[in-house]
Every structure is written in structure tokens, then in C-alpha cells.
Structure 1
Amino acid sequence: MQRNEIRLDSAVPEPPEPRLVPYIDGIPWGRTACNHDFSPGPMVSVIQLSLRPGLNILQHSLASSLWAASLEYVRSIPDCKAIYWAPLHDRPERIIVLLQWKSALALKTFQQSFGFGLMIGLLRLNCFNRCISLSLPSLSSSTTEYTCELVSFQFAANGSVEAREQFSKAWDDFCGEVKRDSNDDNLMVCGGWVQRDSEYGTTAAGQALVESQPFFFLGLLFWREPVASRVSETLRNRVATLSSVTTGVNSELTLTLRREDISTTHDDASNIVPKLSGRLTMETSISTPIPRTYRNLSWTTVENHHNARTASGGTYSFPPLRANPSKMGTIIWQFPPHHNQPRTKKSRSQGLQYLRETIQTFADTFYYAITYSSQQAFHGRCPYIGPVEIISFYVPQELFDRELFKLLYRDFSTAMFPPMLGGIPRAGHACGGGWDDESSVLDDNGTKVMRFTAVISWHSNESREEMYGKFVRGAMESYERFGHIIDRFRLLTVKVESMLVSFLNKS
């Protein structure tokens, strides 16, 4: 008799793949540590942001607006001493950013901040975010334009420590020769060992992955344009000698480096929350200018439940706003939005059908005072028979702009209407949204746009006032939590219109 073999391996789940995270002085950037655990010396962030094809931040566009806003925010982070950036010479879709930090603790603050989070929707996967214990040469004191050559020297993971020490000594000799040979700051050189990623936890697979990483030494050569032809033969020979002792050398040259002015101080008085008055809607909420300033607030701050009174006098407690923004330390794991053509949903929900019929009846009665535009339908439901807010966002018709807006509206809906908590009713519900089939042209500037119509069903007028008030105040108090959402609405939309519809009982 043949016995059936019992196999248990299929029932055992595979262990998760080890996850490597950026380290700062041997400590994961997201781990709580004492200030004295970090070295007091200067640190440099070396960041490469790979933009999606067709984007150019050097030309006036949505991408350049998001980039300018990102730089404005990053330079407000405490102890940021210098910002240099430039596209690569032969691949302008790749942006190199050099950030000089006063200390490793300042670099940790940057990794925990929103950082270049506004750029996530513009990026491809091949980005990196590493750091070096280094002090950059002072380029801001000179009016001369420089390009930066980034030369990475690779060493095998199982190579000897002595070989890397000998290379460090040879590099120091090379820097000394450059200083003696280069006149009038034609060439300035610095470099250091790139800190390797490591595992957040401790597993055998993770440790093996960490130990398999090669070592990299990154040399930064700041060239005064154009001086390559005047480099002495001695320096050429020295560079060749440095390359001969490594397992691989790669060189990238940037376009002209751009220096950001970080001398402007940010006054906290600009973050004073204005007194909110009048009817609060989506249109009035996102018209509030938001300061792009880093605020040292806890990411885990939990808001107290706020009360809103209904017309009948009852009191309801609504779940707080929920903030889940991206942090700079995780930006290398962010995926860009899917590139599918957005589709308009044709199925009509019962609640939205009733809403459209009611508005149509009203328009037929008061035809002399209303300009009828078009009809639109999409999946959704209206759980409350309270006031309904209909919002029209006019977004540039390019597919890329619409993809960014879809991500933005998802973040807004998630923040404003978190899941029901412990049976506590929500203040409202985002019923859904969709695009018009045809593009339109605005009369004021002739920009071709597409309209995205969204419907929010509110528990009551008081709940709407309460939640929008909390949203605007939270945005003014912290760019990281909610401010970036309003800022993105202002950057991505050409025009916003909203109207409130209240339903009365037949009686």
C-alpha cells in the first residue's frame, strides 16, 4: 500500500523579505535615540530624484512649481546650512541634490520631515537618499558658476579594511595636490565614505543582505567652467591611480549647480492661525495661503474629539482628522501612480440619482437664474440625508496632472473622513468623484482643463464647519500633517467651485 506523503512546507508562510533602511551614524533614521548618540560633525545628504519621462523642472510647469515649493520647505528645516542642486548633464530627468547639515541630528530631523514629499508623484523608482560625514567647500561666497562631477569608487563587500584605509590616504593626498595645482578655485574637491543601509530589525537574512552590500566612496569635484582642459598631467595620473585599486568606478557630471538662498529666516508669527469666519466650504478652505515651514510637532499627535451641534440641539463626537504623510526617510520606497487612462464611472447610485433629479427640477423651475452645464455620474453612496456639498475641481487636462490630482484627492478624503472609530459617527462621507468626458477652456487664461466633480455628504452644517475649521487650523499649524494637502490643491488646480444643497422632508 502506498502511503500519502504529508507535506507541511506549503502551510508554513514564507518569512518576509528583509527591509533595509538608511542609517545615520549606525542608527536607523526612524529609531528613537538620544542626542548624544549622534556625532556632532557636519553631514551631507546626497539625493538623486529620478523624474518621470517628459518632466523638466527648469521650465515653467507644474513640476517646476512643486520643485520650488519643496525647496522652500526643505530650507526651513533647522540647521540646514547649504542646498545645491542640478540635473545631470546627459540625463536631465535625474536631479542631484546636496544638502549640508550642521550635524547628524539635523540630518535625522530632515529624514523624519516631509522633505521632498511633494515630488513623490513625479518620481520613478530609481532614486536614492544617502549621507556622508563631510563638509562641503564654500561655493556660495563666489559668483563663479560650478558644475559638479560625482565619482563613486566601489569596493567589494568582502574586501580588506586595509585596502579602504589605503584608498582614504591616497584620496587625501589627491586633495592636497588639487589644492596646490588648482589656481583661483578652478577645481575644489571633497569626498567621503557613503554610509551603508542596514536592517531595521535583526534577522539572519537581513544581516546577510547588509554584509553583501559593497562599500562606496563618493568623490565630489566642483569644476569651474570650463577647466577640464587645464588639469595638469599629475592630477590625471593621480585619478588613474585611485581608480586602479577599486572594483568599479562611475562618474556623473551635472549641469551648472544652483545654490538656494537659506539666509531668509522664517518667522513663526506667519503661522498664526487666522480667525475663520463665514461659510466654510472646500472652495474657501483651500484658498488659505499655507506657510511652507517645518514645524517641530510630533507625528503621532492625536487630536481630541471635537463636538458639533446639529440643528436639533443634539451633540455628536466625530473622529479626529487623520494625518499619514510621507517621510523623507521612506521616499525611496514610494511607488509612482499607475499610468492607466482615468475612466468616468457610468453606474448611478441611488443617492446620486436622487440628487441629480432634485437639482434638475430646481433648474427647470428657475431656468432664468441658472446656467445648466452638464450631467455626470460615478459610483458612490450618500449615507446621510444632510447637506450635500458638490465640488468642481478644474485641473489641466494632461494625463500626468490628473494622476497627481487623483492621489491628492485620495489623501484629502483619507485625512478628512477616517474610518468609524468605536461606533462614533463620522462628520461626513466622500461619496466619490469622476471626470467629465470632454475638456473645456477657461475664458480668463485659455488653459485647457478637465473638471473633476466630487460629492461630500455631511452629517450636518455644523459638522461641515467643524471639520473644515479643524482642517485649515491643522494645515496652518503643521505643513507636514495637513498643510501640504492644501498647498497641493493650490498648485494642481486652476479653479475650484463648490455649492451646498440642503434637502427638506416632504412634510
Structure 2
Amino acid sequence: MLNIFQSAGSRLHLIDLPKWFLLLGSNLVLFIPRFDGLPCYSDKLDQLSDGPVLGILQFTFNSEVDVSDASQRASILWQKSLRFVSTIPGFQSLYWSSVNDVSPCQQIILLIQWKNVLGWGLFQSSLGFSMMLGYISQASNRCVQLDVPLDIPDSCHLELVSFQFPEALSASQLEKKAAFKTKWENVFPKHADGIVPNSELAHACGEWLQRDTESEDQIFIGLLFWNSTPQFEGHLQLRGGDGQNLTQHIAELIKDAMHVVSACTGQLNHVSGDPLPDSTQCQITHHAFHEDVTPIYSANEDQNESGKDKYHAESMSQARRKPRERIAAGPAGAWYMMAHISQHHLPRQINSSEVDIIQMISFRAQRGNTEVQNQLESLRLKLWKLGDCPPLAWGKENDNEGDSDKFLLFLELRNTKLPRQECEARLQEYIYEFSVGCGSSIQELSYRRTAGPRNLASISNADITNFHVSDNINDRRSFEYAMNNYRQTLIQQVIQGGQTSPWSAFITNCGAWAPDQHPAHKYKVVGTKEFVSVFRCEMEGAREEWYSDFAERSRTQYDLLGHITDWLRTLSTTIENHYVVFEKPDPWMITDMTEKKEREKPIIPPSIFDVPWAPQKVPSLDFQPF
């Protein structure tokens, strides 16, 4: 295949594909995709003509991302996204392929044919391709009112051509738009059966791009579907319907435009009907993430008149009734709208900081073993003396079965008396002494650096989830977007002005990447990075109720909750959950903290009335003030 626009004239500008849609330069103001001047969420869309709409999307991915490489997690999420989009009402067909370009970053063009503007609107309000966030560096999300045949073969290659005209064309020179489209149709005429009279060209069509703002220039989009066989040296000598040389007609088209950009792709791909990659290979010990999920659209049925998650809204009402019908409000559906992923805007990159001052010791012991309890108190005392009342908390995992308990102790190395490295050396020495003192009475003893929980001095319980995520930087970026969605499910959508309420099942305590482990530690899973998420539980039984709801709804509501499960499982190798109920501080800890408060109590300066500004004088008996 030869790019016919490349050889048609010197006024053609070949630049990277993302730039030809980035018409507002570096302006990152969020613009909502529009059709006929109406935003994609408008109730008036159903009043427009019932004509077909073609979505034209382009993604530029970060370096080293290749969605065609089945071994990459990005490829798994890409296939799931394609399958999900194909289930949105109004969907007819989808074609995608990589752009033929020397750029080190993969560029993908997608064409999505919708039956009408309502299907396109549902796509824009859905999660769409949002599971690719973290991998995407640039995006374009546009549309034209056009109908592409459903039977274009996979062997075809797409050539996409954009002709840019000044913005004033829309107001004072409307006839030029019709004239240019006529020129295009004369260059690429069709027979009555829709077939282009040329063996090398399978199909050709074009239309004016829908504008997201009135200030945008006018752009005409031409789509040429080439068969894979034609290869010619020099200029391509194809004959149009009028018998004139095609390159001359193309030169006439180029002459009318301010700028022309052409991009060619490899062979086209459709939505595969093959079984999707399995994300359940992740090892999971978490009640919320066990359910099988299938990428199927359902959001339009799961929202109320205000666009909120109707199941969450009802659970909030049930929790607020007297007597209560639920312990707490259930999870709230959360996703990134496709309309917010466009050439003008990408959702803000979530940067979870790395915390490296919390040490965690865990072990298992037979329930009620007094010797282990004595040894543990001795260990706490030694750790306590490493600093000036350092934050320290310990407790038992609440989900223990059988006749043993799992103990977890957390220490924050803050306000220590020794340098950090020496503190860690002492800590390991104390753990060894504890291990020797307990002998075979304890099992599974481990020590590692972690990121949470925070506020150890006041915490009473903690739901701790450890995600072991692929160490690939792009996978980690994507995970942070997924984790932000997960945290959003805790937010109360019904009550305005607050993220939590007295009816919240969880309160977020922390979410951060754990630091790299000491080389001597064997805990770290090779090729992974640990993310620690901690919630506080406000009411007894609310945790089990919330997780049960999340798991059940994930199975049937992919767009609201299920995609979060799919997203996190795809990027993780293991997901572990621990619910820890903390013990009260030791009496000697309370005494030390009380004494510390007394020492640090600020000294109140004396009042100015207590200061002897001058020596006291006895007034004279002859003194008369008046």
C-alpha cells in the first residue's frame, strides 16, 4: 500500500497523528465531547436525526506499551475494554490498528460505528477505555456523522486523512463545506452498491468532524480502506470515475485546506470473539475480589434519575431508617467517564507516596499461650525504648480459625534515639531474641517494612489489604488509577459536601506503596511492588456487609464495580486481606506518654500585670491626684 496523499503535493504536512487533533495546543481545559453542538450527556440528543455516528479515537501509549503483545497486562486490559464497548446498546462494529510510524510509542486508531447518537452518548458516559489509563500519554475522542460498512475485511489497511480549514468557515462560508465534500466524493465515487470502482481501494468515505468548541477550526475527515495487495513505484496511477488521474484530484483537495495530515495503519482488527484472558490467576485472600466478572455494559439500568448509583442510594436510605434495615451504606459505583478522556484532557495522574517509617512484625501462636504473651510484652518494651514514646500498636487478626491466633505488631520509627540504620539493626536483634525465647511456640514469624496503618497511637482496628503489583512502571501507574476508583466506592453519593457520614462502613486510613525491603528479607515477591491499603471500620458487622455487597454487585454490574475487581486482579499477582483488632496500650506506655505530655507542656509566660516594671513607692501624704 502506498500513501497516495504523501505523493500528491508538497503542501502535505506529515506529523505525528496525535497533533492533528490537538487543535487547542497546550490548553488542558476540560471540554465535553459534543454532537451538533450538544454535550454528550444532554437529554436533547434523542431529538436529533436518527443517523449513524462514527467514533474516531486515537491513543498514544507510553514507551514500552504494546497492546498487541499478549504477554503484557496492558494487552489484557485492552481486550477486556474492546469486549465491554461492544456490549453498549447501539454498537454496530469496531476496527482498530496500529499506525505505521517510526515513533517509539505505539499509536492506535479506532473506528467505532454506532447506530445513532444515543449509542455514542452511552459510550461517552460509560467507562469506555478508561482501564487503559496509566498506559495512555495522549488521547483523541472525536466523531463524525458517517456510516462505515460492517463487512470491511481484516486484510484492509486504513488511511486516515484530515483537512484543516479556518474556524470562520462555519459562519460565513457554509457553501464551501458542501463544495469540498462534493469534491471528495468526485475523487472517490461509489457505485450504487457502495463499492469504489478500483481494485486497490475497498471503500472510501468522508465527513466533517463534529466540533467540541466553537473556537475549533473546521476539519474534514477522509477514510480510505485499502486492500493489502497494491504496491507501486513512483506515483500511484489510479483512475477515478471521470477518467482523470487521481493524484490531480487529490492535489486540488489539498490546495483548498490550511493543513493536511495523513496517517496509515497496519491491517485492521475487529473485536475478538475468543475467550478473554483470565485475571483470576491472581492469588486472592479477600472477600471482595473472588467473584467472576464479565465485561458487559449495564450502567444505564443501574443509575437513578440523578445519575447516581441507585443501589448505593437505597442502601443509604436503609441505613438511615429507624430502626435500621442495614448496618451501613453499601459501596457506590465509581468509574472514569470516557467523555473525560479526550484530546483536551486526561484524568489527573494519581501519585501515591512511598512510606518507609513503619515496621511490621507478624507471627502465629497457639491461643492463650502465656509464655508467648510474656515474651511479646518484653519485645514491646524493648521497641518502646528505641524512641521517645514511638507510635506502637499490636493486635490479633480477627478472622483466625482453629486454635491459633495471628499477631501483628506495628512500630513507627519516629523520634528515635538512634540513627535509622542502627534502629533497624537493634530491631532485628530484638526479634531474634523474641524468636529464641518463644521457640516452637510461634510459627510464621516475619518482619518487614510497610506503609500502614497510620495514626498508630489512636487506632482501634484496621482492614489491611496488601496488593503485590507488577513492578512495571506503566502497570503501577494503571494500578493507581484503579485504586483511586476503589477508594471512590467508599464515598457517600447521597449526602452533599462530605465524603463520609455516620453511616459509612469504612474510613480510609492510608493508601501507599510500601518501601523496598531490606536485602536480607525474603518476604518480597520477585518482580512486584507492594501497595498497602488500610480502612478503619466504624461499626461491627459493617465490613462483612459491605464486602458481600461489593462482591455480589461486581458479578452483575461491571461498569459500576466489576471493572474495579477485573482491573486490580489483572495488575496484581496476589491480594491479601487482614482485619486486625488492636489491643489497648500497656499501663507503662500510658504512664510514659503522660509524663511526656507533662514535659512538653508549654510554659505560660507571666502576665504583664505580674511583672515589677518599677520599684514600689509609698505615696506621700501630701499627694493629691485631683
Tell me the TM-score range normalised by the shorter chain: 0.7 to 0.9
Deviation per residue, 1:261-297 (Å, 9 max, x gap): 4799xxxxxxxxxxxxxxxx97132121112100023
CA RMSD in angstroms comes to: 3.7
- CA 1:304/1:194 → structure 2, altered by over 3 Å: closer, same or farther? same
- Give yes or no for contact 1:25–1:39 (8 Å, CA) kept in 2: no
Deviation at 1:127, TM superposition (A): 1.6
Distance 1:352 1:454, change over 3 A: farther
Distance 1:386 1:189, change over 3 A: same
Are 1:463 and 2:535 counterparts?
Answer: no
User: Which residue of 2 is the match for residue 294 of structure 1?
Assistant: 297
- Quote how far apart the aligned CAs of 1:74 are: 0.4
Instruction: Find the partner of 2:340 among 330, 335, 344.
Output: 330
Number of aligned residues: 452
Query: Residue 220 and residue 228 in structure 1: after superposition, are their counterparts in 2 closer, same or farther (change >3 A)?
Result: farther
1:394 to 464, 468, 471: 468
Distance 1:378 1:220, change over 3 A: same
1:438 CA displacement: 3.2
1:236 aligns with one of 247, 252, 255: 247
Q: In structure 1, what is the equivalent of residue 83 of structure 2?
A: 72
Q: Which residue of 1 aligns with 2:18?
A: none
Q: Kindly tell me: are residues 262 and 110 of structure 1, through their superposed partners in 2, closer, same or farther at Cα, counting changes over 3 Å?
A: farther
**Contact 2:158/2:225, CA 8 A, preserved across alignment:** yes
* Structure 2 counterpart of 1:133: 145
Partner of 1:258: 269
After superposition, residues 187-198 of structure 1 pair within 5 angstroms as: 187-198=202-213
Aligned ranges 1:29-40 → 2 under 5 Å? 29-33=40-44, 35=46, 37-40=47-50
Given the superposition, is the C-alpha separation of residues 105 and 425 from structure 1 closer, same or farther in structure 2, using an over 3 Å criterion? closer
Q: Is the 8 A contact 1:384 1:457 kept in 2?
A: no
Give, in whole Å, the separation in 1 of the partners of 2:156 and 2:536.
56
Distance change >3 Å, CA 413–CA 180, structure 1 → 2: closer
Task: Quote the offset at 1:180 in angstroms.
Answer: 5.8
* Structure 2 letter corresponding to 1:120: L
Match of 2:450 in 1: 376
Matched residue, 1:182: 198
SS where residue 551 of structure 2 aligns? helix
Ranges in structure 1 where 5+ consecutive residues have no aligned partner: 1-15, 199-209, 265-280
The code of the aligned residue for 2:167 comes to A
> 1:150 corresponds to which residue?
160
Aligned-partner residue type, residue 117 of structure 1: S
- In structure 2, the CA distance between the partners of 1:217 and 1:17, relative to structure 1 (3 Å rule), is closer
1:168 to 171, 174, 181: 181
Deviation by residue 1:196-219 (Cα, 9 ceiling, x = unmatched): 113xxxxxxxxxxx1x32111100
Q: Is the 8 A contact 2:157 2:267 kept in 1?
A: yes
Tell me which residue corresponds to 2:392. Answer: 353
Asked whether the equivalents of residues 86 and 254 of structure 1 are also in contact (C-alpha less than 8 Å), the reply is yes
Aligned residue for 2:221?
218
Q: Does residue 1:81 correspond to 2:159, yes or no? A: no
Aligned to 2:67: 57
Return closer, same or farther for 1:94/1:238 CA change in 2, 3 Å cut-off. same
Any residues of structure 2 matched to 1:356-505 within 5 Å, and which? 359-360=408-409, 365=438, 368-378=442-452, 380-381=454-455, 387-416=461-490, 418=492, 424-432=502-510, 433-438=512-517, 448-503=527-582
CA-to-aligned-CA distance 1:50-106 (integer Å, 9 cap, x gap): 212221111120111111111111011112111100111004521100001111111
Contact 1:435–1:453 (CA under 8 A) maintained in structure 2 = yes
Q: CA deviation at 1:335?
A: 3.6
Residues 3-60 of structure 1 deviation map (CA, whole Å, 9 limit, x = unaligned):
xxxxxxxxxxxxx99764321233211222262x122111100001121222111112
Q: Check the 8 A contact 1:29/1:108 in 2, yes or no.
A: yes
2:45·2:118 contact (CA, 8 Å) conserved in 1? no
Structure 2 unmatched ranges of 5 or more:
1-26, 240-244, 276-283, 361-388, 397-406, 410-430, 588-626
| 1:115 is aligned to 2:118 | no
Single out whichever of 221-230 and 70-79 deviates more from structure 2: 221-230
Partner of residue 45 from structure 1, selected from 42, 46, 55: 55
Whether the 8 Å contact between 2:514 and 2:530 is mirrored in structure 1 is yes
Structure 1 residue 359: Cα displacement: 2.4
Could you tell me the TM-score, scaled by structure 1's length?
0.78
C-alpha separation between the residues in 1 aligned to 2:568 and 2:59? 23
Q: Which has the larger radius of gyration?
A: 2
